[in-house]
Copies of this chain bind each other. A is one copy, B any other.
Amino acid sequence: MKRLLTMLAIMSIGGGAQVAFANDELQKLIDDPNQWAIQTGDYANLRYSKLDQINKDNVGKLQVAWTFSTGVLRGHEGSPLVIGDLMYVHTPFPNTVYALDLSKDGQIVWKYEPKQDPNVIPVMCCDTVNRGVAYADNKIFLHQADTTVVALDAKTGKVIWSVKNGDATKGETNTATVMPVKDKILVGISGGEFGVRGHVTAYSMADGKVLWRGYSMGPDSDTLIDPEKTTHLGKPVGKDSGLTTWEGDQWKIGGGTTWGWYSYDPEENLVYYGTGNPSTWNPTQRPGDNRWSMTIFARDVDTGMAKWLYQMTPHDEWDYDGVNEMILTEQQIDGKDRKLLTHFDRNGFGYTMDRVTGELLVAEKYDPTVNWATEVVMDPKSDKYGRPQVVAQYSTEQNGEDTNTTGVCPAALGTKDQQPAAYSPKTELFYVPTNHVCMDYEPFRVSYTAGQPYVGATLSMYPPKDSHGGMGNFIAWDNKEGKIKWSLPEPFSVWSGALATAGDVVFYGTLEGYLKAVDAATGKELYRFKTPSGVIGNVMTYAREGKQYVAVLSGVGGWAGIGLAAGLTNPTEGLGAVGGYSALSNYTALGGTLTVFKLPE
């Protein structure tokens, strides 16, 4: 708290009264556990609430307080926000936003219904999801599927400004939330399966003016990389690293999209995010390390300049997008206070880093079935430092085009995908919704046409052999040891975001539709409730008039649920997910509903 106050003080001197005010208000809301002011719970992406009225002793008595149907089918990711009396609920395409008055039994105060060209639907790789709105400066920020970024008056829903961040006719779309920081909002872009070159863009909160844009690849002027000062595992990256690690012009259609959850360290003034797969999925077509796809970026919020980078999966051969969230914690290692960044990568390794320097501290498998690499080289003196050691048998490049590489674990959707983990400072554990899925992967040559799929691989997905038979686990992870503390088997991938609370309870949702509450220390299941549809939303909590509520969007979909969401039945459709998750249709059907829980009176 002292640290925070100092930070705010600095800001109000440095940034001018107006700016300080905007951020000040949002930070206050974020710090107030009665609100849920940002999708990620806080800037550190902890998804931890200090509320403890609902706790491990009484959570078993939880009951449904009220429910709200969003009027939209297909996958509902993200969560509502709660700011004072208003709850903001968003939907997948068409990205309707509702403001509900919690003081009036959830009456609809306003509804924003963008008119979007439905042609955006077929160029969204992994369902028409949207991971939610952001709040700052009395505005609600929505980044629509068609990449329109819109600022709405938080009280009335009136459009204040709106800009286009991309071009959906070229396969540029959006699914991510908006990150409000200081006087800016930061937004990403999707389209790695369409050869979109990823970027993060900062817009002015006030009027939507572009402040900076940093690409994932290209010349340093595009990537906002300083060849001398920007480091990779402690070493300067050198000139045009986003060009020289590619053959020819492939970087121009090189992917590395930016559709994950961002985090922010106000003290360091750094924003953290990861980049997605290099395009195409056929690795033979893009020799080189393909920097900076599959990379953690730490960028200065004001300038966009990259301070440090870490590429987890150089020259990806499996679609292990590096976009998963960075969780920022302060923990002791060997008796020393460290500012850490913990990241559960699609590639199956859980990374612990020093978030100030970008030093790699831990890289361990968070699912024992991960087999595509034996380890990440941890010796700083090795020329392989920080690189995963690829197992030849599972190398889709070494096996070559038109060869089916079988039994690769994890599958393309990784040991974890967009579903965000939570962290409890009380247990110092990370609660991670995971996938327990393997794949066959057959790359093939593909040519680029703007707006057309640029995938170049055929996939099948299935549960690991000799495992518990299910396709998911919900685990507790020790990021200092790099060890699984406990693991709960789940029949399907846990595609919902977790919530940890001071009540020593951890919540998550399942693809069949359960909201589950487990003991933060032991993982023991304490409560379950079958919501209307499969849960791929993130659990959130808030309090009103002294009463704590827990809420989650259900509405099956996302990549895992794409078969149901898009009505596909051919097993290799949906980039291989349709077959893998076909049994989901025995449990749930589409439909977006918010379910709000409370303890009995």
> A67 touches which one: B63, B586, B593 (CB < 8 A)?
B593
- Take A591-B591, A592-B591 as given contacts and tell me if A67 and B532 are in contact as well, using a CB distance cutoff of 8 Å: yes
- Take A63-B63, A600-B600 as given contacts and tell me if A532 and B68 are in contact as well, using a CB distance cutoff of 8 Å: yes
A585 interface hit (Cβ, 8 Å): yes
Contacts of A585 in B (CB 8 A): 108, 111
Residue contact B532 to A98, C-beta cutoff 8 Å: no
Could you say which of A63, A529, A531, A532 has the most chain B C-beta atoms within 10 Å of its C-beta?
A532
Residue contact A589 to B67, C-beta cutoff 8 Å: no
Binary B-proximity of A574-601 (CB < 8 A = 1, otherwise 0): 0000000000011111111111000010
Contacts of A228 in B (CB 8 A): none
A496 interface hit (Cβ, 8 Å): no
Residue contact A589 to B69, C-beta cutoff 8 Å: yes
Residue contact B66 to A530, C-beta cutoff 8 Å: yes
- Take A63-B64, A66-B530, A600-B600 as given contacts and tell me if A591 and B71 are in contact as well, using a CB distance cutoff of 8 Å: yes
Could you say which of A106, A587, A591, A600 has the most chain B C-beta atoms within 10 Å of its C-beta?
A591
- Take A108-B585, A585-B108, A585-B111 as given contacts and tell me if A530 and B590 are in contact as well, using a CB distance cutoff of 8 Å: no
A533 interface hit (Cβ, 8 Å): yes
* C-alpha gap A595/B96 in the complex (Å): 24
Residue contact B530 to A69, C-beta cutoff 8 Å: no
Residue contact B73 to A73, C-beta cutoff 8 Å: yes
Contacts of A554 in B (CB 8 A): 69
> A108 touches which one: B71, B72, B529, B586 (CB < 8 A)?
B586
* C-alpha gap A362/B554 in the complex (Å): 50
* C-alpha gap A71/B587 in the complex (Å): 12
* C-alpha gap A595/B533 in the complex (Å): 12
Contacts of A593 in B (CB 8 A): 67, 69, 532, 591, 593
Residue of B nearest to A532 (CB): B69
Residue contact A590 to B71, C-beta cutoff 8 Å: yes
A419 interface hit (Cβ, 8 Å): no
Contacts of A533 in B (CB 8 A): 69, 71
* C-alpha gap A529/B106 in the complex (Å): 12
* C-alpha gap A590/B590 in the complex (Å): 13
A70 interface hit (Cβ, 8 Å): yes
Contacts of A71 in B (CB 8 A): 73, 533, 589-591
A383 interface hit (Cβ, 8 Å): no
Contacts of A592 in B (CB 8 A): 591
For residues 417 through 476 of chain A, which have their beta carbon under 8 Å from a beta carbon of chain B? Answer: none
Residue contact B69 to A67, C-beta cutoff 8 Å: no
Binary B-proximity of A512-544 (CB < 8 A = 1, otherwise 0): 000000000000000001111100000000000
* Ranked 5 nearest A-B pairs via Cβ: A69-B591, A71-B589, A69-B532, A69-B533, A64-B64
| Sampled A-B contacts (29; CB under 8 Å) | A63-B63, A63-B64, A63-B600, A67-B67, A67-B595, A68-B530, A69-B533, A69-B555, A69-B588, A69-B589, A69-B590, A69-B593, A70-B591, A71-B73, A71-B533, A96-B589, A98-B589, A107-B586, A108-B586, A108-B587, A108-B589, A111-B585, A111-B589, A532-B593, A532-B594, A591-B591, A591-B592, A591-B593, A600-B600
